[in-house]
Chains A and B, each alone.
Chain A
Amino acid sequence: MTQGLFDAFYLPPALARDAETTVQRFGPAHDAIELRLATVTPSNLARWIDALCAARAKHLAARPASEIHRVLERVAQRFLDPQSPVHRNATAWLARSGRFSTPMIARAIEDTFRPLAQGGVSRWVASELGSVAVLDHPEPDRSRIPRQAFGPEWMLQIYAGNVPGLPVWPFYSALAMKSAVLAKTASQEPVLAPLLARTIAEEDPDLGACFAVIWWKGGTDELDRAAIRRAPAVLAFGSDNATANIAREAHPDATLVLHGPKVSVGYISSASLTRSALGSLASRAAYDVALYDQQGCLSPHAFYVERGGEIGPAAFASALGAALEALRDELPRGEPSAERAASVQLYRAQAQFEEAIGNRGTQVLASREGTDWTLVYEDGAGFTPTPAYRTVRIHAVRGIEEVVLALQPVAHSIEAVGIEAKGREKADLAAEFAAIGVPRIAAVGSLQSPALSGTHGGVHRLAPFLRWSTVELGSMQPRSPKARRPKTRPASGSRSRKRKPTTKRRRGRR
């Protein structure tokens, strides 16, 4: 199944016919796969964007949102079904592309597609927008003011390759709000986005005319510019440099949601550190660390553990070590590159150096062989991200105050906090972390399962991109059933038509 060439792009059939392609080798030299990529030029980009917008006007803008959502939900189901060729194909190619172990990929597919299947897309849209129909025609909101939501004509989406499954929710978000999509895959993960696009197109060829998935080398100025400058909306994941470049190049009226680099942490209260609870707590914490080899922004790099419980922070560290050891087989790591492993080794050696000179009570616990997992225990709060691949710092702390002090200066780099606490304390701790601007607060063990209807980087997944028309004409007669049919919005040919004074620039990170 994974022999031969992989088509690492998707263009609607009408565009694919004339597209030139090249073949590139991907992955380690001894086990590379061959990727066929569409040749991207500035004039191609312009032509493709025009075609996607025309297709959107024809097939997407006037179509009832619920119908589109059902297509997307069926596709999610196909990815989830272990018997379906789509599922098998995705698993096999993700495994062949070499970053993650097969059990990890299975987990990623499950966690990514489960919330979208069986009515998931509609529920998500309804929870953010109030209803699904609001995408089709004015619907009264809670104050009974009718309003209609419009997604951008098209979205530019730029993916990162650190977590498998990353492109799926963004891709769905665009189609769910009837926007065309031009997606640029990550050079580290060229597989899932084109597979998803092909599957949606198979399920619904009309929808398949409204998006393209391509790759070009990031930093190729003329291509970056050609795409970014025209985009009415950009959703991008990338380094500080990459996101700064997008913000610089984007049209002043464009809506931007840019996800820069971030990590997560955990906080464990003394009340929850009991002998009976330790095993479960340690496995949940280990799961949060191990998932996606700590590559994602939801991966914890530090746990702040209160002293004074039935179990001390050091005992928690030992239990976490044992739990990570168990996950070596259960949820194996992908093989880190030599450079990554070298960073882990240097980090370990530095911690051993601190241990040697008795600095902050540092102790190092690590897997016996290899860099499989590393725990560095120390007294007092602090924050430095680790080199990942299951490398965590355990800070023994007196309480939340010192943690807040330590995190405040770096709060802009924190995506989420996983909390383990009891009763009222939970809400109190959550309030403390919310106050310093941490965008997401969840339970230990659920850090890696964000709610689809929740936020990423502090912003919702749909809301920032929507433009609203509100109808403030006082009480009106109900509209005739005929008039309720969705109106086709004219495809806007000039940028000025899309300019709205209410459009704000938003960034997913502060």
Chain B
Amino acid sequence: MRRVELSRLEGCRADLSDLTPERIEFIDSAPWAGEAPEAGEADRDFSIEAIRTFVFQQDVIPDYGAYARHLGLETRDCRLWKDIPAVPVSAFRSHDLSASPSEGETTTFETSGTTISRPGRVRLTDTSIYEASVSRNFVRHLLSDGARLHAVIFGPAKAEAPHSSLWFMADHLVRELCAGGTWVVQGGEPNWKRADEEFERAQAGGQPLLLFGTTLLFQAWFERCDREGIRFQLPRGSRAMDTGGSKGAAVDISRETVQDSFERVLGIPATHAVNEYGMAEMGSQFYGDSLLAAHEGRAPCPGFAIPPWVRTRVLDPETMRDVPEGKSGVLVHYDLANLEIPLAIQTEDVGSVAAGRLRLEGRLPEAERRGCSLPFERFVERERA
């Protein structure tokens, strides 16, 4: 693999306003896996952008710079994106890791707090890179047929949840890519009737819908429909994106169960129920392949697609060295959509990467958390707000 020419990076201590349009350009034009001229070249381009970002961030996010120096990783040591130090995701909770001045006007996303720790915070003065990443990724995995649909959001509107990256994302998608939206959660409570009405209307009018929400809320609605014997047959082309899995639920819900429910209650086939994995600390998300594969007339690839402006490293949880392709370990994400917050993030999620696709193996199963020992997780549970 060719090394990044560091000379290209020197003197590139640009500011946010210079970097932002370039970064949007990069995200909008990065070739998806398979479309790239050569994997090595794509990796080199990624490294250049990543190291530029790191150079910028270690100056403007002082705590990130201090951490990198403490680990003995200076810019001059960075030859590849993998050389960039990753901040622990928990540091978003303990420290302000934003490049934006705290007094200025910013958009703030919070991760959920716990009894003893304040919520993690992500502050952005400019959300345009985030929006570019959301749009390009969402269009590819949910709207690859160019459809412009009415959206039914199983969640609150942005105004009701101003610090949630997920509902910010929904709001953006409705505004930019949909023909209007209906929000099911109002005043903190789900109003199932609103969803029913939209589904009846779509059924009668033959207009397909886009559903967007958390797996748990969809599951709660499915259970209510099963209880009351409610069924819909949404028009062909209707699709759903659910996120979060069964985290926080009393019982694990398998992917098959979620897909079955979409099919049984709404008539949305498994191909059109797309799972998403994301976190407030990342500007980019990961999507399942089912709908894109259906659109391209091929079998779906397992796992989540890693967008070309993101890389994920998998490290042996004992040695923290890279594991061979396909083996599982700790996930460390490098996200070029993170310009105002550190781009490299060490998670405690476990998974694997094979053929450019991410497989999640999740976090500690509930069974392991039981016992008379106080689970660490109870204190530091991290959920995407």
Whether A387 sits at the interface, judged by CB under 8 Å, is yes
Whether B159 sits at the interface, judged by CB under 8 Å, is no
Asked whether B368 lies within 8 Å of A188 as measured between CB atoms, the reply is yes
Whether B67 sits at the interface, judged by CB under 8 Å, is yes
Give Cα distance in the complex from A213 to B373, angstroms. 23
Asked whether A352 lies within 8 Å of B70 as measured between CB atoms, the reply is yes
Within 8 A of B (CB), among A297-344: 297, 299, 301, 336-344
Give Cα distance in the complex from A371 to B330, angstroms. 13
Q: Which of A186, A350, A352 gathers the greatest number of chain B CB atoms within 10 Å?
A: A350
Asked whether B348 lies within 8 Å of A342 as measured between CB atoms, the reply is yes
Question: Could you say which residues of chain B place their CB within 8 Å of the CB of A261?
Answer: 371-375, 378
Within 8 A of A (CB), among B347-376: 347-350, 361-376
Question: Could you say which residues of chain B place their CB within 8 Å of the CB of A337?
Answer: 364, 368
Within 8 A of A (CB), among B55-75: 63, 66-67, 69-71
Nearest A residue to B365 via CB reads: A339
Count: A-B pairs, CB below 8 Å: 166
CB-CB under 8 A for A350 and B63, given A263-B374, A342-B350: no
Give Cα distance in the complex from A353 to B65, angstroms. 10
Asked whether B330 lies within 8 Å of A342 as measured between CB atoms, the reply is yes
Asked whether B91 lies within 8 Å of A353 as measured between CB atoms, the reply is yes
Whether A448 sits at the interface, judged by CB under 8 Å, is no
Give Cα distance in the complex from A370 to B318, angstroms. 4
- Measured CB to CB, the closest approach of chain B to A142, in angstroms, equals 33
Asked whether A338 lies within 8 Å of B373 as measured between CB atoms, the reply is no
Which single member of B66, B348, B372, B373 contacts A357 (CB below 8 Å)? B66
Whether B312 sits at the interface, judged by CB under 8 Å, is no
CB-CB under 8 A for A355 and B70, given A350-B90, A350-B91: yes
Asked whether B116 lies within 8 Å of A339 as measured between CB atoms, the reply is no
Asked whether A162 lies within 8 Å of B372 as measured between CB atoms, the reply is yes
Nearest B residue to A346 via CB reads: B348
Q: Mark A48-61, 1 if CB is under 8 A from B, else 0.
A: 00000000000000
Question: Could you say which residues of chain A place their CB within 8 Å of the CB of B29?
Answer: none
Question: Could you say which residues of chain A place their CB within 8 Å of the CB of B32?
Answer: none
Question: Could you say which residues of chain A place their CB within 8 Å of the CB of B66?
Answer: 356-358
- Measured CB to CB, the closest approach of chain A to B191, in angstroms, equals 27
Question: Could you say which residues of chain A place their CB within 8 Å of the CB of B379?
Answer: 384-385
Q: Which of B250, B372, B374 gathers the greatest number of chain A CB atoms within 10 Å?
A: B372
Whether A84 sits at the interface, judged by CB under 8 Å, is no
CB-CB under 8 A for A339 and B374, given A350-B94, A353-B91, A369-B319: no
Whether A445 sits at the interface, judged by CB under 8 Å, is no
Question: Could you say which residues of chain B place their CB within 8 Å of the CB of A242?
Answer: 370
Give Cα distance in the complex from A47 to B145, angstroms. 60
Whether B251 sits at the interface, judged by CB under 8 Å, is yes
Whether B293 sits at the interface, judged by CB under 8 Å, is no
Which single member of B346, B350, B362 contacts A349 (CB below 8 Å)? B346
Question: Could you say which residues of chain B place their CB within 8 Å of the CB of A385?
Answer: 374-376, 379
The tally of residues in B whose CB lies under 8 Å from a CB in A reads 51
- Measured CB to CB, the closest approach of chain A to B259, in angstroms, equals 22
Give Cα distance in the complex from A346 to B329, angstroms. 13
Give Cα distance in the complex from A385 to B376, angstroms. 6
Whether A65 sits at the interface, judged by CB under 8 Å, is no
- Measured CB to CB, the closest approach of chain A to B85, in angstroms, equals 9
Give Cα distance in the complex from A240 to B373, angstroms. 11
Asked whether A186 lies within 8 Å of B370 as measured between CB atoms, the reply is yes
Which single member of B70, B330, B370 contacts A162 (CB below 8 Å)? B370
Whether A461 sits at the interface, judged by CB under 8 Å, is no
Question: Could you say which residues of chain A place their CB within 8 Å of the CB of B330?
Answer: 338, 341-342, 345-346
Whether A295 sits at the interface, judged by CB under 8 Å, is yes
Asked whether B250 lies within 8 Å of A241 as measured between CB atoms, the reply is yes
Asked whether B88 lies within 8 Å of A262 as measured between CB atoms, the reply is no
Whether A237 sits at the interface, judged by CB under 8 Å, is yes
Give Cα distance in the complex from A346 to B370, angstroms. 21
Which single member of A162, A336, A370 contacts B373 (CB below 8 Å)? A162
Nearest A residue to B63 via CB reads: A357
Which single member of B88, B350, B361, B380 contacts A353 (CB below 8 Å)? B88
- Measured CB to CB, the closest approach of chain B to A4, in angstroms, equals 25
Within 8 A of B (CB), among A356-399: 356-358, 369-371, 383-388
Give Cα distance in the complex from A240 to B86, angstroms. 34
- Measured CB to CB, the closest approach of chain B to A296, in angstroms, equals 6
Asked whether B364 lies within 8 Å of A339 as measured between CB atoms, the reply is yes
Whether A187 sits at the interface, judged by CB under 8 Å, is yes
Q: Mark B235-251, 1 if CB is under 8 A from A, else 0.
A: 00000000000000011
Asked whether B71 lies within 8 Å of A297 as measured between CB atoms, the reply is no
Nearest A residue to B363 via CB reads: A339
Give Cα distance in the complex from A238 to B349, angstroms. 24
Q: Mark B299-338, 1 if CB is under 8 A from A, else 0.
A: 0000000000000000101111000000011100000000
CB-CB under 8 A for A343 and B67, given A296-B372, A297-B373, A385-B374: no
CB-CB under 8 A for A413 and B95, given A345-B330, A350-B90, A371-B317: no
Whether A160 sits at the interface, judged by CB under 8 Å, is yes
Question: Could you say which residues of chain B place their CB within 8 Å of the CB of A263?
Answer: 373-374
Nearest B residue to A384 via CB reads: B379
Nearest B residue to A99 via CB reads: B368
- Measured CB to CB, the closest approach of chain A to B87, in angstroms, equals 7
Nearest A residue to B362 via CB reads: A339
Give Cα distance in the complex from A239 to B330, angstroms. 26
Asked whether B67 lies within 8 Å of A388 as measured between CB atoms, the reply is no
Asked whether B367 lies within 8 Å of A353 as measured between CB atoms, the reply is no
Whether A92 sits at the interface, judged by CB under 8 Å, is no
Asked whether B370 lies within 8 Å of A160 as measured between CB atoms, the reply is yes
Question: Could you say which residues of chain A place their CB within 8 Å of the CB of B346?
Answer: 345-346, 349
Within 8 A of B (CB), among A133-188: 160-163, 166, 186-188
Question: Could you say which residues of chain B place their CB within 8 Å of the CB of A161?
Answer: 370-371
Give Cα distance in the complex from A369 to B361, angstroms. 24
Asked whether A346 lies within 8 Å of B373 as measured between CB atoms, the reply is no
Other than A239-B371, A339-B350, A357-B95, give 15 A-B pairs with Cβ distance below 8 A.
A187-B367, A188-B367, A188-B368, A239-B370, A259-B372, A261-B374, A262-B372, A296-B371, A338-B350, A341-B317, A342-B350, A343-B364, A346-B330, A353-B95, A371-B317
11 contacts between A and B (CB under 8 A): A188-B367, A262-B372, A297-B373, A301-B374, A338-B361, A350-B94, A352-B67, A356-B69, A385-B374, A385-B379, A387-B376
Instruction: Give 7 nearest A-B pairs by CB, closest first.
Output: A162-B371, A356-B70, A341-B317, A160-B371, A349-B88, A297-B372, A261-B374
Q: Which residues of A contact B (CB under 8 A)?
A: 160-163, 166, 186-188, 218-219, 237-242, 259-263, 294-297, 299, 301, 336-347, 349-350, 352-358, 369-371, 383-388, 409-410, 413, 415, 457
